[in-house]
Structure 1
Amino acid sequence: MLAHYFVLLTSISVSTWATIVFDGRVPGDAALADFDSLDSIFDPEFTKGESVLFSELLAFVDDDVSLFDQQASAKSIEITIDDDSIFAPGGAAPQTAVRRAELSPNPAQSVDNVTTTGVKTLHFSIKPSPERALNVSHEYLMVFLERADFAGNQISLKTGTLLGSDGATKNDLVLLGNSNDGGETLFTTAFEPDDFTNFGLLMDFDQNTIQIFQSTGTDALVQQTESLSNDLSGNGQLHFGLNKNPTDPGEDVLRSGFQESGILESIIYGGIYVEDSADGTITLA
């Protein structure tokens, strides 16, 4: 039964066999200014501090190619937060206790909730920056799916000292389920310092299940879990970046708690895309 999902496409172009509904892999000839354009593959406006451009927050990592970037001659990208990474949503009060810089699919590239309906597999690779380390006394959201009504996250990939925890997993990547159901831990793996950690998240938005595939470096994805129940309703938007929560925030995480000054922290992403897996296809390598 599990073999239904193991369509291994190592020597064949992905586009030949898998229908990609959102391709966030950065072309090899892309320029940083492309991320400020209305035609960008990612939303040029959200989510970042005011009066700053994504071209000022991003850097290319040309010599470090992730597993799924290899297929598309794409390149990795590094995203940075600093003291000015304070987001004010829709002109509302700024989130002064949080530092944020996140890429999301450009709405023009993901119409009709194409990434959050049916059966889809989210692919991405993630790696620490060798020069701008995270402060793991804080909690970081690095990949998450936020409901369209902003009332919670269906999934969240975190690292650092998770709020309310003793920090036992501060050097791990922790994938959590729906935040409105308590954010149950679905999967944990070490956050390797020198290699990409690759994920394939097979999400059935009709059955409200998720199955996790993961590998390190250039190894093919390996099934890590069975299909797990998780509420995926609410459509919404994917986020890739750094959302640094404060320490000791109390009830108002967005506007209370401690953030030190002099922040300059980064994370590296590669191989971001979403494929249609309704026919059981999931690309492993």
Structure 2
Amino acid sequence: TLKLLSLLYMLGTRASLLCLTMRRAFCHVHPVSATGFSDASVYSQVRPSYPSEAVDYALSFVRGRQGAKNVKILDLAAGTGKLTTSLCSKDNIKVVACEPNDGMIAELKKHQNNASSFEILKGTAQSIPVADQTFDAVFVAQAFHWFDNIESLEEIARVLVPGGIFSCLWNLESSSVPWMKEIRDIYEKYDGNVPQYRKNDWQRVFQTPRALELFPGGYVEKFFEHSQQASAEEVWLRVLSKSYISSLDATCQRNLKQRVFQVLQQYNLIDTTISVPMDTRVIICSKV
């Protein structure tokens, strides 16, 4: 009887640990990120891509370490595949996309074809479902500010080979153009305490002793200027695709849209193709 009770206890403990592990795999997604990106089709339609020069810059560090041989890259928090497809267009690269959001994964799957072949995994930055030292590089586009903590850095380092490259990329509408600055001033006040790249809070984790153990020397960075074409409606939809705006109620969104269009009207941008100014930031660090 004692042996039976002991066996049942062990089985129950293991089952509890398994359930806890599975819960942890998907409980680390920020609630605003989980709900604010619910309309993945709009995100896929209007969010800007990354300039080839920026992607090539990040890849130069990977190729510099690996030489000419094929490299395996994880696109972590891949979203709808804005960076994934860009990486797939490059030579001698095998891409794996990892994303926790089902809506984003559904959009991501639409990019899977002969010209853009990649594997999709469901997982988070704190629970990447692969073995240790699987990837030559981990790329994160427009997302690291959502999980800028030591737990994520440790998991990223775990799946990287020794000397592997970790790179983050962000796009941000440039306030160097007056009309864009006015529109940003209108909508950015709604972000509250939601993690945002432009606030630079994500930088702090790289300054911690543990991060410097994982990625000695911190990171290097480079900025790229570019522009992308959009209609007035698409300019608004880009605003709406931001997590903290898509989470607002319908009345607030309507009022916000009206104010955005007022700015565009003021600059005679309603019935024309608009050149949206963008700044892209790329950071690179290397695992010990």
> What interval of TM-score do these two structures reach, taking the shorter chain for normalisation?
under 0.3
> Which structure ranks higher in relative contact order (CA pairs < 8 Å, sequence separation ≥ 6)?
1
With normalisation by structure 2, the TM-score equals 0.27
Relative to total residues, which structure has the larger helix share, 1 or 2? Answer: 2
Relative to total residues, which structure has the larger strand share, 1 or 2? Answer: 1
With normalisation by structure 1, the TM-score equals 0.27
Q: Give the greater-gyration-radius structure (CA).
A: 2
